[in-house]
Amino acid sequence: MTQSSDAPEPTLSAPRRAPFKSRAQKAKLPADAAKRQGDIATLAFLTLGSRDSAVAYLNGENSDMGGRPLAVATETDEGWQKVAGDIRRIAEVQQS
């Protein structure tokens, strides 16, 4: 025996998602800051011996520098010089 029903079948709706944001809407890093960021990351990767060491150093809080070395180096040329000097000092200590 088959039963028929006049009740509508339930419909599934897609979950609500945040509106799409293109990359163009996000703030871009100025060219000079992007260059400093890339240069300090390269120096750290080549000098500190491993990717993990470089990432840990660049993203770790450093109270002597007033923040994360990556942010300090990206912000100004003086900050880049300060972080580069610290990376070289760390490398010298590791080699001794």
Question: Is residue 30 left, alpha or beta, with left meaning phi > 0 and alpha meaning psi from -120 to 50?
Answer: beta
- Give the number of other Cβ atoms within 10 Å of residue 24's Cβ: 6
86 pLDDT above the threshold of 90:
yes
Q: What is the pLDDT of residues 18-72, one digit of tens each?
A: 666 666 667 789 999 999 999 999 999 999 989 999 999 999 999 999 999 999 9
82 pLDDT above the threshold of 90:
yes
Q: What is the pLDDT of residues 60-74, one digit of tens each?
A: 999 999 999 999 999
DSSP symbols for 17-72: -PPP--GGGSPPPPHHHHHHHHHHHHHHHHHSSSHHHHHHHHHS-BTTTTB-HHHH
Q: What is the pTM of this model?
A: 0.72
